[in-house]
Chain A
Amino acid sequence: MATASDFRTCPTTGLKVHLPAERLIKANAVAAVVFLAVGGLFGLLVALTRSPWAARLLPADWFYLALTAHGLDVLIVWIIFFEMAVLYFASAVILSSRIAAPRWAWTGFVLMVVGALIVNVAVLQGQSSVMFTSYVPMKAAPHFYLGIILFAVGALIGTFVFFGTLVVAKDEKTYEGSIPLVTFGALTAAIIAVFTIASGAIILIPTLLWSVGIVSYIDPLMYKTVWWAMGHSSQQINVAAHVSVWYAIAAMVFGAKPLSEKVSRMAFLMYILFLQLASAHHMLVEPGVSSTWKIFNTSYAMYLAVLGSMVHGMTVPGSIEAAQRAKGYTKGLFEWLRKAPWSNPAFSGMFLSLLIFGFLGGISGVVMGTEQINLIMHNTLYTPGHFHATVVGGTTLAFMAITYPLINLIFRRELVMKKVAQFQPYVFGLGIIGISLFMMAAGTLGVSRRHWDITFSDAPLAFDYPAAAFLMMGLNGLSAVLAALGGLMFVAVTVGSILFGAKIEGGAPAAKPKAAPAVAQYGSVQHPAIPGTVVLVAIFFISFVLYYFVNWKYLSEVWPLR
C-alpha cells in the first residue's frame, strides 16, 4: 500500500505524483533518448552513403548493418521506451494514482534494456544484417531474435502495469467520472500493444527456433503476413500514443478542452475496432493473395481507422482554436494560430507533428495502401519517405515536444539552452519534411529502398536511373544533415537539462494555464465556431483528393497487366 510520503504534489498542475512512477518515467525516457541518439546517427550515415556527394561513405556491408541497426534502434527501441514513459505518465501521473506493481515495471524495464543491448550486439557482430523486418528465409544469428523477444516481453509487462494502474486508480477513487481523454487514448494504445506483442510472439518464437535448427521450415508468405500483424499494429500504437500527446500538449499549453469528448473517444476506438488484423497493405504485390482479401482488409470496406485520424486532425487544432478564441484571439480566420506560442517548443513541435503527419504521412500512406497503386510504389524509396513522415515527423516529433514540459514536471529541472530548444522543432521538422519528400520523389522515379549503389557500378548489366533521381538523393542527404542536427539539439537540451538544469523546487516554473471555459455545456449548447480549422481541414481534404487521383493517373500510364 502506498503511503503519503511516496507522493509529492506538483506545484504546476496540482497533480499528486507518485515517486516510484516518476522514477520509472525518468528511466524509460532516458533509455529512449539514448537509443534515439544511437539510431539517429546510423540514419545519418545511411542517408549520406546514399547521396551522390557522399556515396560509399560506408562500405556495402556496413551500410546494410547500419540500416538494420537504424530501423531497430529508432522504430522499435526509441519509440517503445518512450511509449512506456507515456503509459506511466498517462496512468499514474494524470490520474494522481500510485503505480501498480512498480517491481514488475522495473523487471519489464530491465528486460527491455537487456533485449535492446542483445539485438545491438547481434547486429554489430555482422551476422544479422537482415533489416528489422528479418524476412525469412534470410537468417540472422539466434540472439538477434532472442533480443527482440526479450524486449517485447518487457514491453508487455509494462503494458500490464499500465492496466493495473488504471484499476488501482479506479478502486482508490483518485479521480471522478470517466478517465481523461489522454488516458483513454493511451488505453487504446495499450490494448493494441497486447495484440501486437501476441502477433510478434507467434512469429518470432518459431523463427528463433528455426534459426537454431529446431524448426525446419517457415513459409515466407506466412511469415510476412503474421510479422506485419505485429509491424502494422505497432504503428497504430504509435498513432494512438502521439495523438494522445497532441491532446495533452493542447491541454497543457492552452488549457484546451476537446470539442466533444464523444467524438474524440470514438475516433480512438476506431483504431482498435478497425485495426488491420492482417495488415494487408504490406501484402499488395505478393504472389497469390486474392484481391477481395486485399481490398477488404486494406479498407475494412470504408477506411474507418483513417477516418479516426481524420477526425483527430480536425478536433485537435479545433480545440486549440476554440481555447484561443475564448481567450480573445478572435480576429480573422487565423489570429488564434498566429498568436500561438510559436517559441514554445512543446507547442511548435506538436503543431508541426500534426501537419507533417496529416499532410505528408497520412495522405501518402492511404495512397500507397491502395491495392493497385501500390504496384508503382512497393519497396521503392517512396515507402521510407512515407513512414519518415508518420513515425518521425508525426510520432518522434510529438514525443520530442512533450519531453520539454516533462523535463519541468517530472525531472523538475529548468531547460538549459532555451534558445536551442526553441529552434529545435523547426530544424528537426524541416529536415524530416526534406527527407520524407525527397525519398518519396526518388521513389516515384523508381529508386529502390535498402540499396547501397543505385549507379550499379559493380553490376554485370547496367541500368541508369534518371538524373533527377540522383538530385533527389543529394537533397535527401542534405535534409538528413539538417534532421540529424535537429536530433542533436534535442539530445543536447534534454541531457543537458537533466544533468545541469536548475532544480525546480516548490514554486511554479510556468504559469498554470487557465482552463478554457467548458466548450460544450449540457443544456445550453454552445459550440464555438472554428472557422480557421475548417479552412485548414478543407485545404487538407482538397490536397488529399487531388493527390489520390493524380496517382491513379500515373498508374494508368504503366504497362497494362493482369
Chain B
Amino acid sequence: MAIHPPSERVWWNLPIARTELIWIIVAFLWGLTMFFMMIYWHGYGKQNLSNEAYRTTPEQFSAKVQAMVEKYKVREEAGIPVVRPPPGSEVYMLARLWQWYPILEFEKNQSYRLHLSSLDLQHGFSLQPVNINLQIHPGYEMVLSVQPDKAGTYGVVCNEYCGLGHHQMVGRIYVLDK
C-alpha cells in the first residue's frame, strides 16, 4: 500500500506496465506539441506581444502623452480629450488613479504603435469586448502594434486592483470605418 514501504525492496528495477508507459509517452509528446505550438504562433499567428518596453518615469511619459493630445485632439468627452492620431503613428495612453487618458480614435485595419504606462500603481489594460489584457506597470513603457479589425466603441476596463476607485476606471477607444 502507498502508506507502507514498497513491498519490493528493489522497486526501482521493476518493469513498468505497458498502459503506464504508453500514457507517459503520449503525455510527453503532447507536452512537446504544446511547446512547439507557442513557437509556431510566433511565426504564423497574428497575435503576439513584441515585448518591446522601455524604462520611463511618470514625468517623461505624461509629457509624451500631452504632446500627442495637443497635436491631435479632436473633441472632449466627459472632460477627457478624444485624440485622433494618424495611422501608423506613435500613440500614447496612460493609466492613473482612476482613469485611462486620453480617449483614442483609430481607423479600422490600420496599424498603430500603442505605448502604455502607469503614473502610479499597477493597472490592468483590459480591452473589451475583444478581451485583450495587458499588465501596466509604473516605470515601464510597453509598446505594441495593434491593428483594429472591427469598427465600434471599445471599453478599456482596469483589471488589476488599484484601490478604491478601481471599479470606476474605464477608458475608451473608438474604431472608425474610415
* Contacts A301-B35, A311-B23, A527-B18; A561 near B137 (Cβ below 8 A): no
- Nearest residue in B to A557 (C-beta to C-beta)? B130
Q: Interface residues of A: mostly helix, strand, loop or mixed?
A: loop
Q: With an 8 A cutoff between CB atoms, is A505 at the interface?
A: no
Query: Using Cβ atoms and an 8 Å threshold, which residues of chain A touch B142?
Result: 287-288
In the complex, A559 Cα to B147 Cα: how many Å?
Answer: 6
User: Please, what's the 1-or-0 string for A293-318, where 1 marks a CB less than 8 Å from any CB in chain B?
Assistant: 00100110111101100110011001
Known: A135-B160, A221-B137. A380 touches B6 (CB 8 A): no
A559-B27 in contact (CB<8A): no
Q: Is the interface of B mostly helix, strand, loop or mixed?
A: mixed
Q: Are B38 and A295 in contact (CB under 8 A)?
A: yes
By size class, the interface of chain A is: 35 or more
Partner pick for B38 among A178, A372, A452, A518, CB 8 A cutoff:
A372
Please indicate the chain A residues that have their CB under 8 angstroms from the CB of B7 in the complex.
257, 518
Tell me, yes or no, whether B71 is within 8 Å of chain A by CB. Answer: no
Interface size class of B (residues with CB under 8 A): 35 or more
Give the docked Cα–Cα distance between A162 and B130 (Å).
50
A285-B134 contact given A138-B122, A453-B167, CB 8 Å threshold = yes
Select from chain B the residue with minimum beta-carbon distance to A305: B31
User: Is A259 among interface residues, defined by CB-CB distance under 8 A?
Assistant: yes
State A379–B135 Cα separation when bound (angstroms).
9
For B7, B12, B144, B170, the residue with the greatest tally of chain A CB atoms inside 10 Å of its CB is B7
Complex-state Cα separation, A465 to B51, whole angstroms:
29
Residues of B close to A335: CB separation below 8 A: none
Q: How far is the CA of A145 from the CA of B133 in the complex (A)?
A: 29
Cross-chain contact B124 with A290 (CB below 8 angstroms):
no
Quick check: A255 and B1 within 8 Å, CB to CB? yes
Question: What is the bound-complex CA distance between A456 and B156, given in angstroms?
Answer: 12
Residue numbers in B under 8 Å from A460 (CB-CB): 78-80, 99, 168, 170
* B70 CB-CB contact with A under 8 Å: no
Residue of A nearest to B124 (CB): A379
Q: How far is the CB of B25 from chain A (nearest CB, A)?
A: 10
B48 at the A/B interface (Cβ < 8 Å)?
Answer: yes
Smallest Cβ distance from A384 to chain B, in angstroms? 12
Q: How far is the CB of A294 from chain B (nearest CB, A)?
A: 8
At the interface, yes or no: A23 with Cβ under 8 Å from chain B? no
Interface membership of A534, Cβ < 8 A: yes
List, in ascending order, chain A residues with CB within 8 A of B17's CB. Answer: 259-260, 520, 527
Q: CB-CB < 8 A to A135: which residues of B?
A: 121-122, 160
A-contact 0/1 string along B28-49, CB 8 Å cutoff: 1011101101110110011111
Using A375-B132, A516-B1 as known contacts, list a sample of 8 further A-B pairs with CB atoms less than 8 Å apart, ordered by residue number in A: A13-B3, A182-B2, A251-B4, A291-B48, A303-B31, A444-B131, A448-B157, A522-B10
6 CB < 8 A contacts A-B: A248-B3, A259-B17, A259-B20, A450-B161, A458-B167, A559-B130
Interface residues of A (CB under 8 A from B): 13, 60-61, 64, 94, 131, 135, 137-138, 175-182, 219-221, 247-248, 250-252, 255-264, 285-291, 295, 298-299, 301-304, 306-307, 310-311, 314-315, 318-319, 366, 370-372, 375-380, 444-446, 448-454, 456, 458-463, 465-466, 515-516, 518, 520-522, 525, 527, 529-530, 533-534, 537, 541, 544-545, 548, 552, 555-556, 558-562
